[in-house]
Amino acid sequence: MFFAGLFGAYFTLRGLNDPWPPDGVEFEMVTTSLATLVLVASSGAIHMAVVAAQRGDRRSSIRWLGLTSLMGAVFLCNLVFEWTQAEFRLDDNSFGSIFFLMTGFHGLHVVGGLVFMGAVAVAIAGRSRAPAGETVHVCAYYWHFVDVVWVAMFATIYLLR
C-alpha cells in the first residue's frame, strides 16, 4: 500500500507539472539499466537458495543467499552513485522530491532484504531447527516483492518520459 501511494503521488505530480520531468533532468540509463538487470537476476539467485534449502542443502542455500545479497549491494551502490550524480536535489522541484522519495524508500526496502537474508543465513547455518526450506522461501517472497516494485518503478521513472 505504501508503494501504491508513492506511485499515486508520482502520477498526480506528473499530471500537474509540464514538462515532466523538468528540463535538465537526465539519467545515466546504461548503469541504471545494468543495475536493474542485476536486481532482476538476483531473483533467480534467491530462487536457487530456496531450491537448495528445500533439498536440505543448507550450505549451498547460504552461498546462494550470499550471491543474492551481493547482487542487492551492487544495486544499492548504483542507486547511491545515481543520487550523487543527479543534477537535481530533493528540494529543487516536485520531480526531485518524488524521485528521491520513491528510490529512497525502495533502497531502504533493499537494505531490509539484505538484513533479512543475513538473519536467515545465520539461522539456517547454526543449530537452529528452523525448517530451512520454508524460512528461505519466506525471505524469497520478500525479495521478489522488492524486485517487482523496482521493475515498476524503473518503468515509471526512467522509461515513461
User: Does residue 2 lie within any of the structural domains?
Assistant: no
Alpha-carbon gap, residue 64 to 45, rounded angstroms: 6
User: Does residue 5 lie within any of the structural domains?
Assistant: no
User: Does residue 144 lie within any of the structural domains?
Assistant: yes
pTM of the model: 0.94
Domain of 87? 30-159
Alpha-carbon gap, residue 150 to 102, rounded angstroms: 10
Q: What are phi and psi of 96, to 5 degrees?
A: -60, -40
User: Does residue 18 lie within any of the structural domains?
Assistant: no
Report yes or no: 61 and 132 within 8 Å, Cβ to Cβ.
yes
pLDDT digits over 109-153, tens only? 999 999 999 999 999 998 878 789 999 999 999 999 999 999 999
User: Does residue 137 lie within any of the structural domains?
Assistant: yes
Report yes or no: 39 and 150 within 8 Å, Cβ to Cβ.
yes
pLDDT digits over 39-69, tens only? 999 999 999 999 999 999 999 999 999 999 9
The total domain count for the chain is: 1
Question: Residue 70: which of 40, 34, 38 has the closest Cα?
Answer: 38
User: Does residue 111 lie within any of the structural domains?
Assistant: yes
CATH number (domain holding residue 130): 1.20.120.80
User: Does residue 6 lie within any of the structural domains?
Assistant: no
Reduced to 3 states (helix: H, G, I; strand: E, B; else coil), residue 56 is coil
